[in-house]
Structure 1
Amino acid sequence: MSDFVIVGGGVIGMMSALQLADAGHEVTLVERHACGRESSWAGGGIVSPLYPWRYTPPISRLSSWSEGYYPELALRLLEETGIDPEYRQKGLLYLRVDDEARALAWAREVGKPLERVDGTFLYDKEPAAAPGCDGALWMPTLGSIRNPRLVRALRARLAAMPRVRLREQTEVTGLRAEGGRITAVETATGPIAGDQVVVCGGAWAAELLAGVGVELAVRPVRGQMILFRAPPELVRRVVLMDGRYVIPRADGRVLAGSTLEEVGFDKATTEVARASLWESATAIVPALAQCEVEHHWAGLRPGSPDGVPFIGAVPGFANLHVNAGHYRNGLVLAPASTRLLVDGLLGREPILDPAPYALSTPRE
């Protein structure tokens, strides 16, 4: 029997498993498909909320802690697995920001480098950006990571750790509860027992907890993205305009995203979304109109009422915990939210006040 059974093999579940195994614990990670193939794979990999000044302090605190962790994690995974997560700290350019004064005031308050730059600076940094802009907001410290490679590296590291058992292609059908404890995680191939159970099921977390009478305000929110095959250096850094963004990869490919759609658990792509994303991307970087759209996909974000994740113990159970509801910022918040959860599981001093993320905290 493992010390911990983690349900859900996305970036939240895998980072939790890594930290627990690093601390010397036996961990079983259960994933119904392959690890890292849901929203962790589908996102863009920007290591910041899109407009961070528009978020509440609980999200900002998690984001600030996580942002500083990614360079270290990327180097570790490259060294241990040979897979490069491609962390790139090239900064971000914000075009056409309508609450610029608020953004700059936020940056001064939290000590974040953010400044108004003129058109000369903008086009020196990003020559192919939308023409005719007289300036932009510039955040030089922002990074991005190639999330499909990040999750592949995380899985490879976990697979090599003797304290971790990966149970992929294993569908969880429920939780077996008795006397205020979870005695087993029920799966299609039989029960899995552990001293402590952690639900990191993303958009599916609420369905699983509902089976033991726990109401979790997490719902699926579809997001679609497209990928351009572009020449290297056409886009050099993340550029954001009117709520949409383009993200370059080291090989020249450029992601463009994303939609927000309340359609339940439907992961289908649509021509309407593809056309809308193409229009946004080519407005941000007109030269992308000459590039092939190589791929179009959708993922399901775990939406929560205010975007603040639920992290910590599940009331009414002695050994059940949850880490879900990160909405658009799962990758952004993953290092801090998993560290905060693991601190609680192991009785360590928490990196942040855990109260705003507790299941007992009222949410709007």
Structure 2
Amino acid sequence: MVGAGVSGLLVARELLTEGASVCLVDRHTCGREASWAGGGIVSPLYPWRYSEAVTALASKAQDAYPALTADLLNETGIDPQYRACGLLMLDAQDREQALQWSSRHTRHIHVWSEHEIYAHERELAPGRVSAMWMPTVANVRNPRLLQALRASVNSFPTAVIKEHCDVQSINIIGGRASSARVIQNGIASLIQASSVIVTAGAWTGKLLTDMQTGAESRLDSLVQIAPVKGEMLLYRTERPLLTGIVLSNGRYLIPRSDNLILAGSTLEYCDFDKTISEHARTSLAASAEGLLPALAESSIIAQWAGLRPGSPAGIPYIGRVQGLDNLYVNAGHFRNGLVLAPASAKLLVDIVLGRTPDIDPSPYDPALRRATDSFGS
């Protein structure tokens, strides 16, 4: 397996549970790219604006998270801090569409008055007269979730984790992925496997394009995945200022349990560049402090950037790569990698093991999407 973010770790854990032997490689340490950099909201932002393909995965994953995080705590002693804190949306104008979506998918949305808003979040800036409240939306401390997943995977005797291991190419012979050429600590080697699964996030498209195919045709354009940078700020406050997640104009505030508040997030198409910028810092701070004025008296203690795996309509690629018997992909979740991870991992493992999936796999099938996908769609 190539890529040890939340998707890769969950796929590995599922396969190991089914008795497989797994070698999981990552170019850095496990979970240090987009999975670590995000906010950990267990819901798409403005979920009614997404396709049914995204909603189907999100619904399954949201239902799976309570048991998953409880199991990880029991297995590893690491608490991912799953908490159903709710999501307050202050700016959504398409209220009727949201309420219709809520009714169809039994995900509760309540319309709140000014009194209800400020009874719940007393520190918000004044002037909000209505909002929508999703009480069941949860948040997870994603760095701790990743630590717990790594520990869980590593506890299986049939698991091998290779960190700081860069995959140079995947060798294709006779319509099968025969091996991966890797470099670890300056030493090149080949890893052979009966199946290869690529869960490399924003790097997935590049890796598949660069595959060595011998005498066969070059397998470019297998998936349309591009890196999309997002920057975040972390505030430390003197006292708790928020009880739940607050969202306005695409920017959000997420309270943590130790007087920390995450402020996110920017969105920038910028190739593989994770450089943080003063412009993003200023913009994020203005949004955050405009929502929660008390943050202006708090300290910004960190700023970072991650690269989301952007894909057409934010629909991930999940399934077997066309024309190859044993090469699979699970990537392209865009802004919803953590949200969709348990369900997309389960779907991929069902496909790999020949089980009947409980979600229709066709919207995510790389072979079915290849001819029509584009970032303009």
Bin of the TM-score, shorter chain as denominator length:
over 0.9
CA contact (8 A) 1:223 1:258 kept: yes
Gap regions ≥5 residues in structure 2: 212-218
Amino acid at match of 2:193: G
SS at match of 1:195: coil
- Structure 1 position 255 matched with structure 2 position 254: no
Distance 1:232 1:187 in 2: 48
How far the C-alpha of 1:233 sits from its partner, in A, is 2.4
The aligned residue for residue 356 of structure 2 is 349
Contact 1:232 1:250 (8 Å CA) reproduced: no
Structure-2 separation of matches of 1:347 and 1:316:
17
Equivalent residue runs for 1:258-297 within 5 Å: 258-297=265-304
Amino acid at match of 1:324: A
Question: Following the alignment from structure 1 to structure 2, what is the Cα–Cα distance between the partners of residues 345 and 293?
Answer: 45
Secondary structure of 2:194 counterpart: strand
Superposed counterparts of 1:1-364, under 5 Å: 6-188=1-183, 189-212=188-211, 213-215=219-221, 216-360=223-367, 361=369, 362-363=372-373, 364=377
- Structure 1 residue 300, shift from structure 2 partner: 0.3
Give 1:290's aligned amino acid: E
- Cα deviation per residue 1:22-51 (whole Å; 9 max; x = unaligned)? 111111101111000000000000000000
Which segments of 5 or more consecutive residues in structure 1 lack a partner in the other structure? Answer: 1-5
- Separation (CA, whole Å) in 2 of partners of 1:305 and 1:158: 31
Amino acid at match of 1:307: G
Cα distance per residue 1:145-184 (max 9 Å; x no partner): 0101110111111112112110111111000111111110
State which drifts further: 120-129 or 346-355.
120-129
- TM-score, structure 1 as length reference: 0.97
In 2, the alpha carbon distance for the partners of 1:232 and 1:103 equals 33
User: What is the Cα deviation at residue 344 of structure 1?
Assistant: 0.5
- Kept after mapping to 2: 8 A contact 1:339/1:351: no
Q: Deviations over 1:87-127 (max 9, x none)?
A: 01011111021111211121112221101011221112111
Query: 1:232 Cα deviation (Å)?
Result: 4.4
Measured on the aligned residues, the alpha-carbon RMSD in Å equals 0.9
The 2-side partners of 1:92 and 1:148 are apart by: 21
Q: Which stretch shows the higher mean deviation, 231-240 or 330-339? A: 231-240
- How far residue 230 of structure 1 moved from its aligned partner, in angstroms, is 1.5
Secondary structure of the 2:164 match is coil
| Equivalent residues, number | 359
Secondary structure of 2:267's match? Answer: coil
Separation of aligned partners in 2, 1:129 and 1:335: 33
Aligned-partner Cα distance in 2 for 1:86–1:111: 25
The one-character-per-residue Cα deviations of 1:156-213 (angstroms, maximum 9, x if unpaired) are 1111211211011111100011111111011013011110000001000011111231
Alpha-carbon separation, structure 2, partners of 1:281 and 1:260: 16
SS in 1 for 2:262: strand
Runs of 4+ more than 6 Å apart? none
Once the two structures are TM-superposed, the CA of residue 214 in structure 1 deviates from its matched residue by 3.4
Distance in 1 (CA, whole Å) between partners of 2:34 and 2:93 is 29
Normalised TM-score (structure 2): 0.94
Letter in 2 for 1:203: A
Q: Which residue number in structure 2 is paired with residue 3 of structure 1? A: none
Distance in structure 2 (CA, Å) of the matches to 1:20 and 1:75? 19
Distance 1:202 1:130 in 2: 37
Give, in whole Å, the separation in 1 of the partners of 2:82 and 2:238: 19
